Amino acid sequence: MSPMDEPGTQTTPLDAPGRSPRTDQAAQDAVEGDGVQHMKWWGWGREGVAFTHQDKPRLRDFVLENVGVDLDTPGRPALDFDELDVPASRAPQGLLDALGAAAGAGHVRTTPMERVVHTYGKSLRDLLRLRAGDLPRTPDVVVYPGDEDAIRGVVDAVADAGAVLIAFGGGSNISGSLHPPADEERPVVSLDLGRMNRVLEVDEESRLARVQAGVLGPDLEDQLGARGWTMGHVPDSFTHSTLGGWIATRSSGAQSDKYGDIADLTRGLRVVQPGRLVVTRPVPSEATGPSVREMLIGSEGRLGVITEAWVQVHRLPQNREIIGYFFPSFEAGVAAMRDISASDASTVLTRVSDARETAFSFATSKASKGLSHLVSSGLKEYLRRRGWDLDAICLSFVGFEGDADAVKDDKSRVKKIVKAHGGIVVGKGPGTLYDQKKFDTPYIRDYILDRGALADVSDTAAAWSGLLPLYRHVREQADAAFARVGVKGWVMCHLSHSYHGGACLYFTFAFRQTSETPLVEYDVVKGAIQQAFVDAGGTLSHHHAVGTEHARWLAEDISPAGEAMIGELLGAVDPDRRLNPGAIVG
C-alpha cells in the first residue's frame, strides 16, 4: 500500500533526514564504468531518495501500536561498504580477456562494489545478509555488453571457460534469483544488461515495439511516450526493474486487467544460449506447442540471456481515471471485484485493501487534506448512520481508460456493482494519490528495517471461490507464526489483478526484530504465509517468480511431476548448469 498524500501532489524524491552517509561514494564508484545506474548497494532505490515518517503525524503511533517499534528511535548505525569482507575475484585472466574481446575491455569490471551490487537482489533476506556482511560468494566479474553480438560473445566465452553466467537487469528481484550458489566453484560472470536500454522500433500498425531487454521501466515509458505509446506494464518495482527482468520472472503489473501480464504482453523474444540464438516471432498467437516463448518467460536466466523482445504497446489513453470506493468489509469488496471482472465494464486495474491495509493507508496520510480527511468529515457520520463499522472500512480503487463515453459507461457499470455490494463511491482524489505514489512502497521497508522492524511482502493468486478462505487461512497462520516468534506482528492484504477466474492477493507483513538472528524469525513468518498459500489452493507467487526463496513450495504448487518437468527442461537445455544454476529448481 502506498503512502498517501494530498491530492495534486507530484511524486517527488522523498526527504531522508536520517540518511546514512555510508553509500554515496560507493554508489558513484559502481556507476562510473558504463553510465548504468544501480540502486543503493544496501537497499531499495537511488541514493538520496528515502522514506520518512516525520511528515506523517499518525504513523509513529500506528507502528508503535501494531508492530511495537518506535519510529522516533534513531536508525541503527550504518554499515560502511569498506567494512564488508568481499571475497576476491576468482576470474582467471583468460576469461577476463575473452570477455573483454567480446564486450570491450572497458566494459569488464571486477571492483568489489561492482561485484557486491551484482550479488543480491532486494529481498529482505538479501538486505539482512548484506547488513550481516554475509557474502559467501559474489560474481567474480561483471560485464556490460552493448549489443546482442557482444552478449553472444560473452555467453560463448563463459561456456568455453567452464564458467557460470548470471544475467542481471535492475537488480530488484525479491525471490533470490540472482545470487551465485555459495558452493559454486567455477568462475561466476554477472552479465549486466544495463547498456541495452533502447526502444529499437515501434510497429505502429501492429501496435508492437521491439525493445532491448535492459531498459528500466521509466526509460522505456519515456521512449514510448515520446511517440505517443505506452506498454502499460507497471509492477511496484517499475522504477528499478527492466523489461528483461519482467519477462524472466513472469511479472505482472498493476494494470494487468487491461494490458495483460508480461506473458500476454511479450510476443517475440531473442534469447542467447551457449552456441545458439533462440528467436520467436512476434505473432499474436500460434499453434506451435509446447510454446518456446512460454518456456523462456519465467526462466530466470536459466535458459539463456534475453536480449530483446517484441512487446504490445497501446496508444496513450485519451482519458484515464482512478476512482476510489469504500466497502463495509473485505468480503464485500472482493465480491464486487469478482462481479466487475465478469461484467461488461472494461477496467485498467481493480484493487481492494482489507481493513488493516486501509487503516495503514490512513496512517501514512500526510495531512488533514489527504485520505484522513475523507473519514474525518461528514462521511464518517454518514457511514455510521448506515450501520458501517468504521474500523472495518476497506478502500478500493478501480481504474478506467478509453474514450469519454467508454469511461463514463464503465464507471457507471462499476458504480452499480459497488452499490450492490454495499459500497460507496469516494471519488477521484484517493485514486490520483494512488497513481502518484504507487512506486514508493519499497522505501518504507528499508526505513523501518533501520528502526528495528522486519517487513516483507508475499503474493499469491487463486480462483475467486478460494480467495476469502485463503485470506483467512493466511491471517491465522501469520498470527500463529508471530506467536511462535513471540512478537506482535502485523499482516495486511489487498486484492489486485482481477482475471476471469480469480485474482491476486498481496500480503504485507511486519514484526519487531527481537534477536540477532532475524532470518530465523523471518523464515518462520514468511514460511507460514507461503505454506498457507499452497495449502489453501493458491500459487506460490502471482508475480514474484520462484527463485530460491519460493523453490521449496514448487512441488506443492505444480505437483512433484510438474517440478520434475521444469528440471528436465532446464537440464536438457543447459546440461552443464552454466546458466544461473540454483534458481527455480536446485
For every residue of 346-383, DSSP letters joined together read --SEEEEE-HHHHHHHHHT--STTSHHHHHHSHHHHHH
| Cα gap 83→156, rounded to integer Å | 36
| Cα gap 434→396, rounded to integer Å | 10
CB proximity list for 237: less than 8 A, separation 6 or greater: 170, 172, 217, 439, 442
- Residue list 336-375, contact with a second copy (CB under 8 A): 338, 342, 344, 346
560 interacts with a second copy by CB under 8 A: yes
Closest of 441, 455, 493 to residue 472, by C-alpha: 493
| Cα gap 299→54, rounded to integer Å | 42
Q: Which residues of 51-69 are buried (b: 16+ CB within 10 A; e: fewer)?
A: bbbeebeebbebbeebbbb
Q: How far is the CB of 151 from a second copy (least distance, A)?
A: 14
406 interacts with a second copy by CB under 8 A: yes
197 interacts with a second copy by CB under 8 A: no
**Residue 363 vs 554, nearer CB to a second copy:** 554
**Residue 392 vs 406, nearer CB to a second copy:** 406
Please return the burial class of 405, using the count of CB atoms within 10 Å of its CB with bins 0-12, 13-18 and 19+.
exposed
Stretch touching a second copy by CB under 8 A, among 70-78, 126-134, 365-373, 457-465? 457-465
152 interacts with a second copy by CB under 8 A: no
565 interacts with a second copy by CB under 8 A: yes
381 interacts with a second copy by CB under 8 A: no
312 interacts with a second copy by CB under 8 A: yes
Instruction: Give the count of residues interacting with a second copy (CB under 8 A).
Output: 91
Q: Binding mask 506-545 vs a second copy (x if CB under 8 A, - otherwise)?
A: -------------------------------xxxxxxxxx
| Cα gap 126→398, rounded to integer Å | 34
Pick one of 76, 315, 384, 419: the residue that binds a second copy (CB under 8 A): 315
221 interacts with a second copy by CB under 8 A: no
Pick one of 86, 425, 519, 573: the residue that binds a second copy (CB under 8 A): 573
| Cα gap 245→243, rounded to integer Å | 5
Residue position matching grid coordinates 534469447: 271
- Residue list 472-501, contact with a second copy (CB under 8 A): 497, 499-501
Q: How far is the CB of 186 from a second copy (least distance, A)?
A: 22
Partner residues linked to 400 by β-bridges: 321
Pick one of 60, 137, 314, 577: the residue that binds a second copy (CB under 8 A): 314
Stretch touching a second copy by CB under 8 A, among 6-14, 243-251, 325-333, 372-380? 243-251
257 interacts with a second copy by CB under 8 A: no
The answer to whether 259 is a known catalytic residue is no
| Cα gap 353→555, rounded to integer Å | 30
555 interacts with a second copy by CB under 8 A: no
Pick one of 66, 89, 190, 251: the residue that binds a second copy (CB under 8 A): 251
Is the Cβ–Cβ distance between 396 and 326 less than 8 Å?
Answer: yes
Q: Binding mask 271-310 vs a second copy (x if CB under 8 A, - otherwise)?
A: --x--xxxxxxxxxxxxxxxxx-xxxxxxx--x------x
Question: Looking at the annotation, which residues are catalytic?
Answer: 506
